[in-house]
Structure 1
């Protein structure tokens, strides 16, 4: 990673940046016409705000000098926020549009995988919207392999989404 970049666990004072980056990144990479509807935009904005204010997950931020440039989170896919379950699911990966393509997403993924290995987790999972080809390529480069493709309903969007589930062994 470049000089001046560092990764750390999210602190409460990062909440505004985390919410803003998540929402701005989502806006930048919207793939479906329905995602431009004001009601959908408001739900997504509110969901990022709620998450940032009370992240029931392990959240890593990437800081560049005095600003947050991106963040990622992990928890349990089937039991979000339940620490009695293995937190082997990368639930979020968001990079501020200005910082995309500079290695921040890779660094965050690697940090989350390192934390999983430290907990002796054997397999990591991540999902991506099928139309998000940039993210899909990144996950494949980081050693993830496709396990499933299908439609799921997004509570946040209020819409069905075509997703790809990927896994990576950590041994």
Structure 2
């Protein structure tokens, strides 16, 4: 494995990103859904490369929460995945750190994500990166509950 490099995703990356999604998740997003999310969040859609090969990705969005007179910004990690043979090698952590950095740049002071109840490996990584369990969202994934986890972002 060469040194991992990050770059912004481009639309031409989406078919390869979708292939990773299909291999990693039991209920993958469709390619068309990836296109929609890409156009809504281009500056928060990041790919990880080993040499020039896409080995992982993440995408986030900024949401405005709270009262109209004093809104707060939150970064929502919509999706993150790493090719099977690269899992456990820190690629997901590199991607997560980068999207959190971009959330901070956009004024977010909190990040949050959802994770399958059964995905204990991901939960462990998120806890190690400072995320805390907040609540369970019943049937979030249709076939399984999801845990909502949050992290305060230091500026």
TM-score bin (small chain):
0.7 to 0.9
Residue 103 (structure 2) pairs with residue 116 (structure 1): yes
Aligned to 1:135: 122
Does the 8 Å CA contact 1:125/1:167 hold for their aligned counterparts?
yes
Aligned to 1:71: 57
Q: Cα offset for 1:3? A: 4.6
2:30 aligned counterpart, secondary structure: helix
The TM-score, its normalising length taken from structure 2, stands at: 0.83
Does the 8 Å CA contact 2:74/2:112 hold for their aligned counterparts?
no
The TM-score, its normalising length taken from structure 1, stands at: 0.76
Aligned to 2:12: 13
Does the 8 Å CA contact 2:63/2:75 hold for their aligned counterparts?
yes
What does the per-residue CA deviation read over 1:117-145, in whole Å, with 9 as the maximum and x for residues that have no partner? 11121110011001000000000000001
Paired residue for 1:162, among 135, 141, 145? 145
Does the 8 Å CA contact 1:75/1:86 hold for their aligned counterparts?
no
What does the per-residue CA deviation read over 1:79-105, in whole Å, with 9 as the maximum and x for residues that have no partner? 9xxxxx946100101111111111110
Structure 1 runs not aligned, ≥5 long: 31-43, 80-84
Structure 2 runs not aligned, ≥5 long: 66-71
Paired residue for 2:32, among 31, 50, 74? 50
Does the 8 Å CA contact 1:147/1:166 hold for their aligned counterparts?
yes
Q: Which has the higher contact order (CA 8 A, sep 6+)?
A: 1
Distance 1:160 1:91 in 2: 18
Q: Cα offset for 1:161? A: 2.2
Aligned to 1:38: none
Aligned to 2:84: 97
What is the aligned residue count? 144
Paired residue for 2:75, among 88, 94, 98? 88
RMSD: 2.2
Aligned to 1:59: 45
Distance 1:87 1:75 in 2: 8
